[in-house]
Amino acid sequence: MRILIVDDEPAMHDSYRRSFAPVGGAEAGALSAMAAELFGDEVGNGGEPDRADDAITFDCVHHMQGADAVAEIERAQAGDQPFAVAFIDVRMPPGIDGKETARRIRALDRDINIVIVTGYSDFSPVEISKVAGPADKIFYIAKPFEVAEIVQTATALGQRWEADRALRAAREQLSRQVIQLEEQAAELAANEMKAIHVANHDSLTEAPNRLAFLRALGERSKQPGRFAVGMIDLDRFKLVNDTLGHLAGDELIREICAILQATVPSGGLVARLGGDEFGLLFETAGEQAAEMACARVVHACSVELKVLGHAVQAAASAGVVTAGEADNRDPIDLIRRADLALNDAKRHGRGVARLFDESMDEGVRVRRRIETGLSQAIARDELALVYQPIVAHGTFEVVGFEALLRWNTREYGPISPATFIPIAEESNLIHELGDWVLEQSLKVLDTWPGQYVSVNFSPRQFRRHNFVGYIVERCQRAGVAPQRLQIEITETAIFDDADRAAETLYRLRQMGFRIALDDFGTGYSSLYNIRKFALDALKIDRSFIDGMSRERESAAIVRSIVHLAQSLNLTVIAEGVETAAQVDLLRVAGASHLQGYHFAKPLAEPLARDMAHARFIEVEPATGTLG
Ligand code: C2E
Ligand code: CA
Ligand code: CA
């Protein structure tokens, strides 16, 4: 412990030296104990006075003049070897006196304990405290002093000084920790911001997600003015995912998101709601403007994109609803209505934008009613099958009949299969209906001399577990040869899982079942990519036959379909033949089989039976000049 002593009398220095001469362990221990008693703490020996190594050793520096002492303090501070205690004489001619010395020392070192050593009171303690305070660091010893008094004071003050320093160090560490804590808090806040970002953004596109979209919608709903909510959905996204892989799917989503962001009306919001679904929120002047804006967005999405090196034809559909100030502006309801419009867009041929109107909401209610009614239709005996003949071109021999389902409801009268089949397809009802249709169709074969029955299977039916086993089992139970059943399926059924479909079709055909691809030409497949499927017949969609006599294009398409089908050894059945002129055109084109109102409408069972037995259909010849 460093002690500074300043006194102008050499004799005094001798006294100090005697006082601070090294003491034995026991003595030092006794001093520590005294200090502990004096200041009521346990520093120093911690109550074990006989431990010599804990004894305080004093390192004294002596000066005769105040200025030298001040200079000493200065050096000590600079060298980080501070003094614990300074013993200062009051009168030290010719230099500065004790009071001034104390003042200057205090100015340099705020921790040092100052002991004023004085023969008589030149200054009152208050006066010295005033210039060299604080009072609890200024002490007085009267001259002449006792050795013990000096050592005792030095020991006690030294220990206190050390305790103070430890305390200050602790405080400083504490304040460093506080700073650290503040930094951590700041970091935490930053992380929270990040978490909020993550919670509100879609990681794939960095666009706002459903949560953020709902929030933005909620905010916008509270503001005045008309705005629009659009729902965008990619067409056939699943196909890209399934055929090119998920990475390609992700890439496509990102590309589309960028297109949406570039084409949404300025100031608008694009959010990814999930999967291949996006939400738009933008200001609009009115319904027409909103619909047009969405049409533009959809149009922009209809591009060929390079996705992981593959050319992908992108396409999207949109549904949009606007909310004026008097309208329902509930975010959930707006999204629901935009979704209804989107469904409508998808139903009516994809790649378009639809504006919501109330009838769509009505549509949903009707669907519910149909679903309920349909689930009871079999039990209520409301279903029936009708049969439409398929004839060979040239002879018009009836080679088979297509079974078509009819539903005659008690409440609403007849409902078209074009309406209820898609609804059944969306629920599990299609299986129940399909079972019934197949059973009836196989039963009716008994009444015909040899024709086949052509049964429609929806994609969902075709994809059911063990479709082959199901068909085989039903035919065996009905005692029907496979050649007498034609299975009609659409492209959608086979392309969603092409490999599995190819396998299923192959096995069915191996067993002798006939397989016809229905509605050919309306989907996205070409003859090129159907060649790997085991098929017997292509049914050319009614829309081409309908257009044949009017547009050269349709006629050309029909001709090339027939031509290519022949090269694949496929029978071609032309659907929806209504006129003799079409019959002629189809003969020229080379279609081998025909079906349509020109020959017969779908017939009830007794009429179909008569026709089956008659074997040929007689129709009026063409009136045109083709021949
Ligand atoms: P589809 O398989 O394309 O059936 C042909 C549709 O065209 C039938 O309509 C038929 O009545 C109609 N049609 C036939 N010839 C002509 C014609 O010359 N002109 C016009 N304009 N139409 C003609 P339908 O019976 O209303 O059936 C509609 C659709 O419902 C069917 O289209 C088929 O996809 C589905 N469907 C009908 N019955 C069943 C069934 O039992 N199961 C399944 N899964 N779907 C069925
Ligand atoms: Ca059909
Ligand atoms: Ca068809």
Instruction: Point out the ligand nearest to the CA of residue 388.
Output: 1
391 lines ligand 1 (CB under 6 A): no
388 lines ligand 1 (CB under 6 A): yes
Instruction: Point out the ligand nearest to the CA of residue 516.
Output: 2
Q: Tell me what pLDDT residue 43 has.
A: 46
Q: Tell me what pLDDT residue 627 has.
A: 40
Pick left, alpha or beta for residue 366 (phi over 0 → left; psi -120 to 50 → alpha; otherwise beta).
alpha
Rounded to whole angstroms, the Cα distance separating 399 from 77 reads 116
Question: What's the 367 CA to ligand 1 centre distance in angstroms?
Answer: 20
Q: Is the dihedral of CA 241, 245, 250, 254 positive or negative?
A: negative
454 lines ligand 1 (CB under 6 A): no
Report the nearest-CA residue for atom 43 of ligand 1: 456
Q: Is the dihedral of CA 187, 193, 199, 203 positive or negative?
A: negative
Domains assigned to the chain? 2-170 (3.40.50.2300), 210-356 (3.30.70.270), 378-614 (3.20.20.450)
Q: Tell me what pLDDT residue 51 has.
A: 43
Question: What's the 620 CA to ligand 3 centre distance in angstroms?
Answer: 24
Question: What's the 487 CA to ligand 2 centre distance in angstroms?
Answer: 9
Q: Tell me what pLDDT residue 49 has.
A: 42
Q: Tell me what pLDDT residue 583 has.
A: 95
31 lines ligand 1 (CB under 6 A): no
Spell out, as residue ranges, where the chain has pLDDT lower than 50: 42-53, 625-627
Question: What's the 603 CA to ligand 1 centre distance in angstroms?
Answer: 12
Rounded to whole angstroms, the Cα distance separating 276 from 318 reads 12
Rounded to whole angstroms, the Cα distance separating 44 from 48 reads 9
Cβ distance 150 to 16 under 8 Å?
A: yes
Q: Which of 237, 312, 239, 316 is nearest to 275 (CA)?
A: 237
Beta bridge partners of 228: 282, 322
Report the nearest-CA residue for atom 37 of ligand 1: 404
Question: What's the 117 CA to ligand 3 centre distance in angstroms?
Answer: 120
Q: For 526-576, what is each residue's pLDDT tens digit?
A: 666 788 899 999 999 998 898 887 887 788 888 888 988 888 899 999 999
Rounded to whole angstroms, the Cα distance separating 584 from 394 reads 10
Q: Tell me what pLDDT residue 223 has.
A: 93
Instruction: Point out the ligand nearest to the CA of residue 596.
Output: 1
